[in-house]
A and B are shown apart, each in its own frame.
Chain A
Amino acid sequence: MVQTVIDTANHIAAYAAKAARVQVVAAYPITPQTSIVERIAEMVESGEMKAEYIRVESEHSAMAACIGAAAGGVRTFTATSSHGLALMHEALHWASGSRLPIIMPVVNRALGPGWNIWADLTDSLSQRDTGWIQFYCADNQEVFDTIIQAYKLCENERVLLPAMICSEAFILSHTYMPVEIPDQERIDEFLPSYKPKWFLDVNNPFSHGNIVPPEWYMEFRYMIHEAMENAKQLIPEIDKEYGKYFGFEHGGLVEKYRCEDADLILLTMGTLGSEAKTAVDNLRKEGLKIGTARVRVFRPFPKEEIRKLAENTQMFTIINRAISFGMEGFLTEETKAALYNQKDRPLIAGFIAGLGGRDVSFKTIEKIAKKSAEWMQKGEVEKEIVWVDLKE
Chain B
Amino acid sequence: MRDLKLPFCPGCGLFSLTNAFLRAVHELGYEDLSNFVFCSGIGCSSWIPSPYFMADSVHTLHGRSIPVATSIALLRPNLHVVVFGGDGDIVGIGLSHFVHAARRNTDILVIMGNNMVYGMTGGQVAPTTPLKAKTTTTPYGSFEHPLDAAKLAAVAGAAYSARWTTAHPKELRESIKKAINLKGFRFIEVITQCPTAFGRRVGFKNVGEMLKWFKENAVPVQQAEKMSQEELEGKIIIGEFIQRRRTTLGEAVYAMIKGAQKDEKQS
Cβ-defined partner of A34 (8 Å) among B42, B95, B121, B138? B121
Task: Say whether A38 contacts B137, CB under 8 Å.
Answer: yes
* A217 beta carbon closer than 8 Å to chain B: no
* Complex Cα gap A55–B117 (Å): 12
0/1 string, B113-151, CB within 8 A of A gives 1 = 000001011101101000000001111100010000000
Q: B59 within 8 Å of A by Cβ?
A: yes
Q: What 0/1 pattern do residues 18 to 41 of A give for CB contact below 8 A with B?
A: 000000000011110010011001
A55 and B139 within 8 A (CB) = no
Q: Is the interface of B mostly helix, strand, loop or mixed?
A: loop
Q: Does B62 contact A29, Cβ atoms closer than 8 Å?
A: no
Evaluate contact between A57 and B140: CB separation under 8 angstroms.
no
Chain A positions within 8 Å of B120 at CB level: 31
A29–B118 CB distance below 8 A: yes
Residue ID in chain B nearest A31 by CB atoms: B121
Measured in the bound complex, the distance between the Cα atoms of B138 and A45 in whole Å is: 8
**A 88-120 to B, binary, CB cutoff 8 A, 1 in contact else 0:** 000000000000000000000000010100000
Are A41 and B137 neighbours in the complex by a CB distance under 8 Å?
A: yes
Most buried by B among A30, A37, A55, A113: A55
A57 near B127: Cβ-Cβ < 8 Å: yes
Q: Judging by beta carbons under 8 Å apart, are B139 and A34 in contact? A: no
Complex contacts, B140 vs chain A, CB 8 Å: 45-46
Tell whether A28 pairs with B138 under 8 Å between CB atoms, given A34-B124, A38-B124, A55-B144.
no
**CA–CA, A57 and B97, complex, Å:** 14
Write out the residue numbers on chain A whose beta carbons fall within 8 Å of the beta carbon of B62.
Answer: 83
B59, B93, B95, B137: the one within 8 Å of A55 (CB): B137
Least CB distance from B148 to A in Å reads: 16
A237 touches B (CB below 8 Å): no
Expressed in whole angstroms, the minimum distance between the Cβ of B53 and any Cβ of chain A is: 17
Q: How far apart sit A46 and B139, CA to CA, in the bound complex (Å)?
A: 9
Query: Would A29 and B92 be within 8 Å (CB), given that A34-B122, A55-B144, A113-B59 are in contact?
Result: no
Within the complex, the shortest CB–CB distance from B14 to chain A, in Å, comes to: 18
Residues 47-98 (chain B) with a chain A CB within 8 angstroms: 59, 61-63, 92-93, 95
- Check B125 against A28 for contact (C-beta < 8 Å): no
Contact across chains for A57 and B121 when beta carbons are under 8 A apart: no
Which residues of chain A are near B42, meaning CB under 8 Å?
Answer: 83, 115
**For the complex, what is the distance from the CA of A38 to the CA of B124, rounded to whole Å?**
8
The CA of A325 and the CA of B140, in the complex, are separated in Å by 46
User: In the bound complex, what is the Cα–Cα distance between A38 and B118 (angstroms)?
Assistant: 13
CB nearest to A43 among chain B residues: B139
Which of B92, B93, B138, B140 has the most chain A CB atoms closer than 10 A to its own CB? B93
- Residue interface bits A54-82, CB-to-B below 8 A is 1, else 0: 01011000000000000000000000000
Against A, the Cβ 8 Å flags (1 = close, 0 = not) of B198-235 are 00000000000000000000000000000000000000
Indicate whether A57 sits within 8 Å of B61 (C-beta atoms), given known contacts A29-B118, A34-B122, A45-B138.
no
Chain A residue numbers with a CB within 8 Å of B95 are 57
Beta-carbon nearest neighbor of A59 in chain B: B93
- The 0/1 profile, CB within 8 Å of A marked 1, for residues 221-258 of chain B is 00000000000000000000000000000000000000
Cα–Cα, bound, A29→B125 (Å): 9
Q: Known contacts A30-B121, A55-B144; is A45 also within 8 Å of B93 by CB?
A: no
CB <8 Å contact, A58 and B63: yes
In contact, B93 and A57 (Cβ under 8 angstroms)? yes
Provide the residues of chain A in CB contact with B127, threshold 8 Å.
57
Instruction: Check if A42 is an interface residue, CB within 8 A of chain B.
Output: yes
Minimal Cβ-Cβ distance residue in A for B121: A29
Residues of the B chain whose Cβ atoms lie less than 8 Å from the Cβ of A38: 122, 124, 136-137
Q: Quick one: which of A42, A57, A83 has the most chain B CB within 10 A? A: A57
Query: In chain A, residues 172-229, which have Cβ atoms closer than 8 Å to a Cβ of chain B?
Result: none
Question: How far, in whole Å, are A55 and B140 apart by their CA atoms in the complex?
Answer: 14
A57 to B128, CA, bound (A): 11
Q: Inside 8 A of A30's CB, which chain B residues have their CB?
A: 121
CB distance from A45 to the nearest CB of B (A): 5
Instruction: Find out whether the CB atom of A41 lies under 8 angstroms from the CB atom of B122.
Output: no
A55 near B92 (CB under 8 angstroms)?
Answer: no
- Find the residue from B42, B61, B62 having the highest chain A CB count within 10 A: B62
Q: State the CA gap A386–B113 with chains docked (Å).
A: 45
Check B92–A57 contact: CB distance below 8 A. Answer: yes
B92 touching A37, Cβ below 8 Å? no
Q: Which residue of B lies closest to A39 (CB)?
A: B136
Chain B residues with CB under 8 Å of A42's CB are 139
The 11 sampled A-B contact pairs (Cβ below 8 Å) are: A29-B118, A29-B122, A29-B124, A31-B121, A34-B136, A38-B136, A41-B137, A57-B92, A57-B127, A83-B61, A115-B59
**Interface residues, chain B, CB within 8 Å of chain A?**
42, 59, 61-63, 92-93, 95, 118, 120-122, 124-125, 127, 136-140, 144
A residues apposed to B, CB below 8 Å: 28-31, 34, 37-38, 41-42, 45-46, 53, 55, 57-58, 83, 113, 115
Given contacts A46-B140, A53-B137, A83-B62, 5 further A-B contacts (CB under 8 A): A38-B137, A42-B139, A45-B138, A113-B59, A115-B59
| 7 A-B pairs closest in CB distance | A41-B137, A58-B93, A29-B121, A29-B124, A38-B136, A45-B140, A57-B92
